Structure 1
């Protein structure tokens, strides 16, 4: 029997970034994809780390049993931090595009880059970089404002993601596009996990799930099925 899958989206986008994956995987798995505070249907809410982690806990509670937790970028960092402390059982964790430990300085710099891109071209820049098809899903519920960006990057900079990864006893897969800018510490992250593995795709950048949806989803499906075949950690 397959387990539910909880999808956590990245910065500025919403649960809509997982549309292509849910369309395919939803035929086999029950998919749960909440919006984080300040994003999507919750654009009017203030982003805090506590509110974001509550969102993940609530989604895991909806699963009513062991669930796969899949997060990308900001969502991947939140997923790792949540998985380290949750009381809910996990079938696996897939952390995509988040194999780096942000610090306060790098987080501020990244926030400034996003602000510059926003002033440079806004949504039109997203379409130019991703292509119309990918951008349609990324933008379907709008984009979080720059104040939310600032709060979110500052929040994850307070996490010790390597220590969090070491505390997760479920299988953890780090899934990165070939040219993802956040794969700099991927081997270190995979080595920290008790049941970790690294999967680097031969294509794609940061939003590879949207630019290459079919092969990406096939890889994700394989990771979920392989995790389910492994069963719980020894002693659990």
Structure 2
């Protein structure tokens, strides 16, 4: 059976963000909308609700999946893997290796401003996506709407969560993927050290948002991870982790 992929979006956008990547995949894939975002914009965001959303999506595609997320989606993916390890066959966590506790004051200040003036923040966000990304990718990112009003709830949930402890509790393979210019890679070595079976992949000349600029490259990363999981599950396969490897498939 072909291993499916469940994709988790970044803060204030929605699952439509992943449409260009899904179109490049050679396997079943589903992108969720987290509470407070997209089709679930009216709901409150909590980490409990977010991880249950991802787990429910995994159940819909057969009960086991490769989970991949960018930014907020990566942190939620980590939390889901720790809470539901048997459902998460492997984890691709993109642009989410900064300690949220260490940057809590900055996160909270930015989120509070966005939450107070959401309409203006939505316009600024949309402008930033369109400046940073090719038009088809930006169109996909913005297709589900922008919900800056959810940012205070998201930041409160992220800064309260123990991401390193959660990673340490997850026994499965983890690919940590960061743009070389992404400020959210600041603690990538600590995150890698927390993994039981981790790999670190750096994308050259790439920032945080611009990770999305090349959907074919992201799809290739996901196919690479899924192929590794399939080989690792095959009869007689040698289960040899490659912790600390830095590579670009």
Residue aligning to 1:124: 127
Counterpart-to-counterpart distance in 2, 1:80 and 1:169: 12
In the TM superposition, 1:32-43 aligns within 5 A as 32-43=30-41
TM-superposed deviation, 1:107: 2.6
Residue aligning to 1:134: 137
Residue aligning to 2:7: 7
Unpaired stretches in structure 1, ≥5 consecutive residues:
none
Residue aligning to 2:230: 228
Matched, 1:86 2:84: yes
Contact 1:208–1:216 under 8 Å retained in 2: no
In the TM superposition, 1:23-38 aligns within 5 A as 23-25=23-25, 28-38=26-36
Residue-by-residue CA offset, 1:99-143 (whole Å, 9 max, x unaligned):
112023243134257568828835223312334333211101111
Counterpart-to-counterpart distance in 2, 1:82 and 1:16: 20
Distance 1:119 1:40, change over 3 A: closer
Matched, 1:144 2:147: yes
Unpaired stretches in structure 2, ≥5 consecutive residues:
240-249
- TM-score w.r.t. the length of structure 1 is 0.88
Contact 1:60–1:88 under 8 Å retained in 2: no
Pick the aligned partner of 2:46 from 45, 48, 63.
48
Counterpart-to-counterpart distance in 2, 1:87 and 1:184: 26
SS of equivalent residue, structure 2 residue 185: coil
Residue-by-residue CA offset, 1:170-197 (whole Å, 9 max, x unaligned):
1000011121120011121111100011
Contact 2:121–2:148 under 8 Å retained in 1: no
Residue aligning to 1:164: 166
Please list every run of at least 4 consecutive aligned residues from structure 1 whose deviation after the TM superposition is greater than 4 angstroms. 112-117
Residue-by-residue CA offset, 1:35-92 (whole Å, 9 max, x unaligned):
0111111112222222212211211222323210111100110110111111533221
SS of equivalent residue, structure 1 residue 2: coil
Residue aligning to 2:157: 155
Counterpart-to-counterpart distance in 1, 2:35 and 2:64: 24
Give the number of equivalent residue pairs: 231
Residue aligning to 2:213: 211
CA RMSD of aligned residues (A): 2.3
